[in-house]
Structure 1
Amino acid sequence: MDLKIENQTFIVCGASSGFGKGTAKALIRENASVIGIARNLEKLKQTQLELGDNFIPFQGDISQTETINELVKIASEKKISGILINAGGPPAMSFNETELSDWDNAYQNLLRWKVDIVKKLLPYFENKQYGRIVFIESSSVKQPIENLILSTSLRLAVLGMMKTLSQEIQGQNITFNMIAPGSHATPAIERLIKKKSEIENISYNEAKEKWEENIPAGKMGDPNDLGQLAAWLLSPSSKFVNGQVYAVDGGTIKSTL
């Protein structure tokens, strides 16, 4: 499928693993270039070796203002067409396990930097009269997941921002959409399975089997498959899709909406 993004450039956050890496692969297969952000330089270099010269590594902590400011400067220079906003979540906890400081950290790591980067990139997209902004959050925005009180609460705030932006920014060919992944073979899910094994006093493999029993598809998802959906949402082909949430969860969510 030709997504018509050849020679376009995109920013991908969390590009050295999981959904970010899967999206970078999909974009580069379409002959686009990717500015891939991650904190671990070695993983970025390894990703560049795998994906080739169209992958441009950018080391930094995306939650920090200095990193965002530098990225916005590069975005303008490279004339980017869109951005995948994606990063890891807070530790798995129940409400009673949290301290107020955990909520402060979750705000910093899940919401604040996303507001900052969108506010700083939006004038560029408005001047260009084109842009694609895709958030990767979690299926917990549609149905809460056990021991993810921090993630669920703050990601719902991101959803509110995304949906409101889709209504406020009109007629400029700028779209805002979200992917809400369920259980995929990523480090984040490994942490949740580990937490489940500790709570239930069972082995990691037993916890994983029990976890997968609750997925109608019968197994974990592949981040590379999700990356193909993200690439489409970042392309001109998605021009009539705006303010939407795509659950990619193997059928786990029971809601009809």
Structure 2
Amino acid sequence: MDLDIEGNAALVTASSSGLGQASAKALAREGANVVVNGRSDESVEEGVAAVEEVATGDVVGVKADLTEKADIENLVQTTVDEFGGLDHLVTSAGGPPSGPFLDTTDEDWYDAYDLLVMSVVRTVREATEHLQAGDGGTIVNITSRSVKEAIPSLVLSNSVRMSVIGLEKTLSTELAPEVRANAVLPGPHETSRIQDLIEQGVERGEYDSYEHGLEERGKGNPLGRIGDPMELGDTVAFLSSPKSGYINGTAVPIDGGAGSSNL
């Protein structure tokens, strides 16, 4: 399917690796010009190289700390300067530390809110004028399935990420019809973090091999496996395209059907 986004300008935050990188790849493969973002020069360089392998448009790397307002301002402005505008914004960020409620401090809560919520608030604020100026701007927020079902020992993610969904739903009405806003709620995908955890499990003797660990992590999922990051990336690209033109204000679980929530 041609998503009709060739030549569009897209900014994907936290896209030097993981699900953000998969989203950047999917957009770039469709011909969009993409800005890849990471927190270090090395991560940005590696992220750009990975996206360029599949890109049919231009790829530019920009280093930015998503907890720094000035960095976010520069990130958006650089995108506009490089590509002459901004059509698609995809927000992503690393997860906060795990742990039970009684082990979290005030600082943990403020740090999680700054990383997961204020990074989105500031990026959207900077991007809105440019998204509205184009022909069909989009915002896709990558959050987590934890906004629908609390995950044990992830109290920060369970609690704080829900603010992004409230923001996304509000933006879907306040910025419409010029800009559509949606979210994706990923379950486990075979990102570098999952790969590291499985490899550690192999070293501890919990799994016979990497393939065994991958199989074990997929048990209990109706599809019998965890996700390929590109499956999420392709969904993000679709939600960023005119092909999804009547989808607005929704949050799409991408978890193989593992969730138990009816809504």
Task: Tell me the TM-score normalised to structure 2 length.
Answer: 0.86
User: SS in structure 2 opposite 1:36?
Assistant: strand
Matching residue within 238, 244, 250 for 1:244: 250
* C-alpha spacing 1:43/1:131, structure 2 compared with 1 (3 Å): same
| Structure 1 residues 187 and 102, CA gap change in structure 2 (3 angstroms) | farther
Q: Aligned to 2:121, which of 83, 105, 115?
A: 115
Residue 169 of structure 2 corresponds to 163
Partner of 1:11: 11
1:28 aligned residue: 28
Q: What is the identity, as a one-letter code, of the residue corresponding to 2:2? A: D
Specify the alignment match of 2:142 in structure 1: 136
Conserved 8 A contact 1:88-1:188: no
Aligned partners of 1:171 and 1:50: how far apart in 2? 34
For 1:126 and 1:9, how far apart are their aligned partners in 2?
13
CA distance in 1, matches of 2:151, 2:218: 14
Contact 2:10/2:34 (<8 A) preserved: yes
Q: Is the 8 A contact 2:180 2:248 kept in 1?
A: yes
Counterparts of 2:242 and 2:47 in 1: how far apart (Å)? Answer: 26
Q: CA deviation at 1:194?
A: 9.8
When normalised by structure 1's length, the TM-score is 0.88
Q: Give the whole-Å Cα distance in 1 for the aligned partners of 2:205 and 2:170.
A: 43
Number of the residue aligned with 2:64: 60
* Identity between Structure 1 and Structure 2 (%): 35
Q: Which amino acid aligns with 2:225?
A: K
Which SS does the other structure have where 2:189 is aligned? Answer: coil
Partner letter of residue 146 of structure 1?
P
Q: Which runs of 5+ in 1 are unaligned?
A: none
Structure 2 residue runs without a partner (length 5+): none
Please say if residues 66 and 115 of structure 2, whose CA atoms lie closer than 8 Å, have aligned partners that are also in contact.
Answer: no
Deviation at 1:16, TM superposition (A): 1.5
Q: Which deviates further from its counterpart, 117-126 or 174-183?
A: 117-126
The equivalent of 1:184 in structure 2 is 189
User: Is it true that 1:224 corresponds to 2:213 in the alignment?
Assistant: no
* Structure 2 CA distance for partners of 1:164 and 1:112, relative to 1, 3 Å: same
Deviation at 1:256, TM superposition (A): 1.8
* Secondary structure at 1:116 match in 2: helix
* CA–CA distance in structure 1, aligned partners of residues 112 and 260 of structure 2: 27
Taking a change above 3 Å as real, the CA distance of residues 180 and 191 of structure 1, as seen in their structure-2 partners, is farther
Task: Tell me the CA shift for residue 129 of structure 1.
Answer: 5.6
Q: Residue 73 and residue 20 in structure 1: after superposition, are their counterparts in 2 closer, same or farther (change >3 A)?
A: same
Deviation, 1:70, is 0.6
Task: Measure the CA separation in 2 of the matches of 1:193 and 1:245.
Answer: 29
Q: Please state if 1:104 is matched with 2:132.
A: no
Tell me how far apart the structure 2 counterparts of residues 168 and 32 of structure 1 sit (CA, whole Å): 26
Give the conservation status (yes or no) of the 8 Å contact 2:11–2:90. yes
Partner of 2:156: 150
Query: Given the superposition, is the C-alpha separation of residues 194 and 135 from structure 1 closer, same or farther in structure 2, using an over 3 Å criterion?
Result: farther
| Alpha-carbon separation, structure 1, partners of 2:21 and 2:67 | 18
Q: Is the 8 A contact 2:36 2:48 kept in 1?
A: no
Q: Which moved more, 1:63-72 or 1:134-143?
A: 63-72
Question: What secondary structure, in the 3-state scheme, does the structure 2 residue paired with 1:108 have?
Answer: helix
| SS of residue matched to 2:139 | strand
Native 8 Å contact 1:125 1:131 kept in 2:
yes
Deviation per residue, 1:57-86 (Å, 9 max, x gap) = 111212211111112222333212111100
